[in-house]
Every structure is written in structure tokens, then in C-alpha cells.
Amino acid sequence: MTNPILSDWTTPFEIAPFATISDDDFAPALEQAMAAHNAQIDAIAANSEAPSFANTIEALEAAGEQMDKVLSVFFTVSGADSNAKREELQREFSPKLSAHFSGISSNKALFQRVADLWARKDELDLSKEQARVLMLTHRGFVRAGAALEGADDDRMQEIKSRLASLGTSFTQNLLADERDWHMDLSEDDLEGLPDFVVNAARAAGEEKGADGPVVTLSRSLIVPFLQFSPRRDLREKAYRAWTARGANGGETDNREIAAEVLNLREERAKLLGYDNFAAYKLETEMARTPDRVRDLLMQVWEPAKKRADADAEILTAMMQDDGVNGPLEAWDWRYYAEKRRKAEHDLDEAALKPYLQLDRMIEASFSCANRLFGLEFAPLDVPLYHPDCRAWEVTRDGQHIAVFIGDYFARGSKRSGAWCSAMRSQAKFPKVQAPIVINVCNFAKGDPALLSYDDARTLFHEFGHALHQMLSNVTYESISGTSVARDFVELPSQLYEHWLEVPEVLAEFATHAETGEPMPQEMLEKVLKAANFDQGFQTVEYVASALVDLAFHDGAAPADPMAKQAEVLAEIGMPQAIGMRHATPHFAHVFAGDGYSSAYYSYMWSEVMDADAFAAFEEAGGAFDTGRAKALEENILSTGGSREAEDLYLAFRGRLPGVEALLKGRGLIAA
């Protein structure tokens, strides 16, 4: 019987046949797919013909179709709907996959063919896109250690395998801590909480099998609890549990894992001839060097800290007016900031939330994509991996563009955060394929589901990533969609957030869950006026995390990452009442894999561009200017990694921006 993962998918648009796939199918499918991929690689490496772009680079692009099918399905369900079996498979697969891909990158005969082509690149009559793919392929082999020999080569394979296992362990430990902790609430404990928080707590209690409402470590529940609960003792208990994820001792403690990861990364970089891991990692990013990253972060840190310190004085006075003596603590900030926002902007999150229905915000994100890029979205009735998921066919001028899948609700089987991934990326070689793109979020369930303004911004953010995938129009999958520099990949997502704040968008789609009435003009104006409220806090918690990440990798690996974290925070004068957005033991961006390691700054680097890019629309015909939308698609959204990120932005904007646009956008300096 054919394994359903490896069979021909006869589903609509060849979406994975989730209904017929069981967890028992993954291991045999992976073994078969790895064997098939190895055979393809061996054939390319052993080809008796002289290396050509077609028989080497394009052959590599075409190889591994079965691997793509297995891994796209497995990583989708293991991240968004995990269980004990899938966690066991993750631990089993990590070293296997590391060894598999390391075997390819260390294949000397294969690398020799790539190196031969690279040496003759000027004679090959390649298109610009082909030349780019050749450069990236050669660079990828070199940076993976293909040129290493003997003991150094062996050690590199050991390091990569160990890092893969450690990343999996870090992720699973974090998921376990988030899944296993909850705080029971009595009916009295619900006093002062708005209905949407009470409803979310009751729904969480049902999911946990508790006798009543609970607070979990899901961001969509714990943050509003910290904002609204008048019970300081409960806020402290919840906050301490939230920030202790990965640092509770025992089997799920991530601190030793973090230390080992940093040591191995440093060793890996030095094997490749770099001074440290940051120098290695940033070489291929827009920023290029640690010094340029630190310069950007510190330009933002100083005004952000100044704003946060001033805000802390105001919040402390409010707390003392409530009869609470002593310093403002981290579990106090959100509570008093919410009270201050209500007082200064007369904006009540509980009153605002009914206007931000999930379904209406999805419609809003689709509507903006239609007005900007002509995309249309029609619901699809197809089996997916979880009942919460829904799907749409994306078309333009009647032509199929993509399939978009949304998985929006928090659950114990889903890792925290929000992300976008492609189950299939756009490509024209070796065959034309349209992308299948997923947005995964962690919003609280409800009937109807209501979002905070921050949730709504997250929805637009992830959909910006989805547009980058859906509008991709390149030949080769390796440079498709979001396959760009890490500090450029957040530009489309952060730029798309701006459309949530366009008054006409909110006026049309921010309608009351019960009455259907549009958001009152007065409230709309307050929402937009308060958009930069508490930016000192938000900027400080983010930049502190980015500076700690950079410090971990720019120099010798610290023997004790927690001590290094404390040292960095002391050096920059971290305000006492603000915690890092991601402290080391739960800093999954950095320790679950190499993606954002030494590169958590990327969001801010991209924000410098996104503020400037949206200004380009405003300077033209407004948020929906067709000329700017066309330029954005042609120069950024459709181009993937086919050119250097800096060149893509210059083609769109004509210049590179300074940090002033970001500071003005966050309200940290006068506009």
C-alpha cells in the first residue's frame, strides 16, 4: 500500500491529504524520501558529463520532491498541532535530517561541480536569476563547510547534528512549560475583568479540563489578564510563571541547552574562519556587521529608554495613589498602562474589542490585498489538519494564484507565537507550482472571536508574509517568496501592518459584534491617536532582547548565558519594571534554530524600511495608490531573493532610509 504522504495528491490544488495521513506514516515516508533524495544527489555528483547549470544547479533544484512533501506536512502539524507521538518523531528526525542535509553539503564531488561552475560563471551565459541561484548555491555550500577537510569536516557534521537536536529539545521544553502550567481562578478572582477576558479564561478552563476558568501562558490570555486584573498577587503569580518558561529546573529547563548552543555556534563559525558567530551570520544580511546592528539598536534605545523612564514615573504615581507602596514591578506595568490609556485617550480595550472581530479583520486583510494587488479570496471546503483551520483559493483576473490557510486559535498542542509558512512555494521549474501558504496565530476563542488591537496587527503582519509568498514570481524555488535576507524578510509583513491603521479600513471593517454598527468616529480617532501609546515600553522590551542576542554571538560564547544577559541589561540601564520580550530560556527565535540567532534585530532593521515604504504611498496618492502598489509588487513582493535586498529596496524607493522615520513612526521623536 502506498504511503499517503508520498502518493499522488489528488486533492483540490494538491493540498496535503491530511484526512488520510496518520502519525505512523511519517517515519517510513521520511526514510523513503531521504533514500530517493540521496539517489538523486549521488546521480548529480557522479554525472560523467562536464558540469553545466542544467545538470548540476537545476538538477539540485529539481531534487527532493518527496522530501518537500514529507517535511511540509510534518513540520506544519508538529508546530501547530503537536502530540506526544509527533514530539517523539521530532526528536528522532532532528539528527537524521541534520545528517542528511550535512551529507549533501559535504559531498566533495558535488561541491567540486558547483565550484567548477562558480569559477566559470562569466562564461556560462546565465540569466540574472540563474547567476543569482549559482552564487547562492556556491555560497551555501561554502558556509555549510563543504570546503572543510578531514577532522574539521567531521567535527562540522557533529556540530550541526547536535545543534539540530538541541533546537528541538529547546522548543519541546518550552511547549511543555506552556502546556503544563495554568492558574485556577475562582469566581471572585474574575472581578474587574472584562467579559472577553472572562470568556477566554472559561474557554481555557474547558480545554484544560479544569473545574472553572483558568489563566494559561498563552499570550492572548495572559497579556489581557495582566492588563485588567486588579489582583496584584495574581498578576505577580501569572507574570512569574510566564517569564519562568524554560527556567523551572528539571527536564524542561533550557538554560544549559542555551549555553551549549552558543558554544557550538562559536566553534562552527571558527571552523569556517570567522572571528565569531555574529560575523558569520551577518555576512549575508543587509546589516553585514555586528557594529552596524549595534549602532541601529542604540540609536533607538536611547530615546526609547528616556520615554520608558518618564512613563514609569507616571505609572508609579498612579500605583501609589492606589495605596500600593514600593517600586513599580513588571507585573504592574500593563495594568497601570491600561488605566492610563483609558484616562488619557478615553480608550477602553474592553469597549474597543467588540469592534475587532476576527472574521471582520480577516475580511479587512483580504480587502486591502484586493485593492492593492487585485487578489480575490473564495472559501475552500477541504480537509485540513485541525478543525480550527480554514482555507481560501486566491485568484487574480480569474487565474489561480495560491491557496491560503488560516489557523487562528490558541490551543495546548500549538507552540506559542504567530508565524507564516509555505507548504509549497511558488516556482516555475522543474514545473509550474502555485504556493500553499499558512498563517498560524494564537488568538483566544470566542463566539464571536474578538481581537485586541495588537492581535489585529499580528493578523495583518502575518498576512504580509503570506502576500510575499503568494505574489512571488520567480523561476527557482530556492529564491522564491520569503527566501531573502533575514533583516529584509520582515519588511513586507511590517509594512502591511500600516493598512490596519488606514481610517477607511477601520471604518468599513471595525463593526460591533452585537449591533453590527461601525466603530464610532470618535473611537476611531482615539484608536489612531493612541496607536503609539506605551511605545517606550514596547521598544525597550524588544531592543533589550535584540542587544542580548547580539552580545551572545559577537565575541566568545558566554559560559553562563544568564549572567551575560544580566550584564548586558545592566550596561544599558534596563528599567526595573520592564522585562525582556524574550528572556534567554524562552527565546525561541534564537535557540529553537539558527533563523534569528544574532539577527533578532531584523524586525527593527525592516521597520526602518517599512516606515519609509509606507510614506512612499502617502506621498503619492494615499494608502491605496495603484502606482506604488505596482512598484511594491514588481520590486519586492514578486522578486523573492532574486537580487540583493538593498537593490530591491532601492528599485522601489530610490534611496535607503534613515532611522528617523522609525523613531517618528513610534512617536519617540517629534514628527
Mind telling me the catalytic residues?
462
User: 94-97 long-range CB contacts below 8 Å, 24 or more apart?
Assistant: 94/164, 94/165, 94/167, 94/168, 95/161, 95/164, 95/165, 96/30, 96/34, 97/71, 97/164
- 3-state secondary structure labels for all residues of 207-271: HHCCCCCEEECCHHHHHHHHHHCCCHHHHHHHHHHHHCCCCCCHHHCCHHHHHHHHHHHHHHHHH
The rounded distance, in Å, linking the Cα atoms of 310 and 295 is 23
Q: Does the CA dihedral 551-552-556-561 come out positive or negative?
A: positive
Beta strands at 436-443 and 399-409: parallel, antiparallel or unpaired: parallel
Per DSSP, the residues of 377-445 read EEEE----SSTT-EEEEEEETTEEEEEEEEEEE--TTS-SS-EEEEEE--B-SSS-B--EEEEEEEEPP
For residue 390, the Cα-to-chain-centroid distance in whole angstroms is 20
Report the run of H or E that residue 183 belongs to, with start and end: strand 182-184
Q: Residue 77: helix, strand or coil by DSSP?
A: helix
The rounded distance, in Å, linking the Cα atoms of 22 and 167 is 25
- Lookup result for grid cell 460591533: 512
Peptide bond into 448 cis (omega under 30): yes
Q: What is the DSSP letter of 596?
A: T
Report the run of H or E that residue 182 belongs to, with start and end: strand 182-184
The rounded distance, in Å, linking the Cα atoms of 38 and 68 is 14
CA angle 172, 227, 503 (to 5 degrees): 100
The rounded distance, in Å, linking the Cα atoms of 467 and 465 is 5
Contact between 599 and 282 (Cβ < 8 Å): yes
Q: What is the DSSP letter of 465?
A: H
The rounded distance, in Å, linking the Cα atoms of 585 and 247 is 6
390: left (phi over 0), alpha (psi -120 to 50) or beta: beta
C-alpha cell at 79: 508546530
Q: Using alpha carbons, select from 530, 194, 516 the residue that is nearest to residue 357.
A: 516
For residue 325, the Cα-to-chain-centroid distance in whole angstroms is 39
Q: Does the CA dihedral 356-359-364-365 come out positive or negative?
A: positive
